[in-house]
Amino acid sequence: MNQEYADKLGAILTSMDDKFTPTSDGWAGAMILLASYEMGANEPFIAEELGYDPEFVALVGSRLRNSKIWLGELLSDKAIARYEQEEGGIAFFLDTNVANGSMKIGSYRKEDGEPLYSMTDSGKRHVENMLGIGKK
């Protein structure tokens, strides 16, 4: 594990949202997505650098690849362009929800290539539980 690198990425995430911490839901997926922005979409390397379980990183990677956020060994150019816009933090956190399995990208708009997000069943259950309306 590269603690200095993990700390650097963690500081970036916390600067985006000061309530987002290593114990927050979704932190690991956000770290993996952010790492891919800097070092590419290479699951074994990301797992090694962040000290995460390789199977977990592979699961997150499969979600990102299925959604075309990761293409081959790279974060997609379209994702990078969305993140680098003025409101790019919103796009980043939407894609973090994809990484964590609570959202998915069903398709992309034809006119501008923007992703069309929807909640997964897991994401719906998570929201219902947060609101106290989930199955007991």
pLDDT in tens, 48-102: 999 999 999 999 999 999 999 999 999 999 999 999 988 888 999 999 999 999 9
Long-range contacts of 12-19 (CB under 8 A, 24+ apart): 16/89, 16/92, 16/93, 17/89, 17/93
- Our measurement of the distance from residue 68's CA atom to the centroid of its chain's CA atoms, rounded to an integer in Å, reads 12
- For the chain, what is the largest distance between any 2 Cα atoms, rounded to a whole number of angstroms? 43
pLDDT of residue 87: 81
26-30, 36-40, 122-126: least confident range: 122-126
Separation between Cα atoms, residue 58 and residue 30, nearest integer Å: 14
pLDDT of residue 88: 83
Mean pLDDT of the chain: 91
pLDDT of residue 49: 94
What are the structure tokens assigned to 82, written together?
């969305």
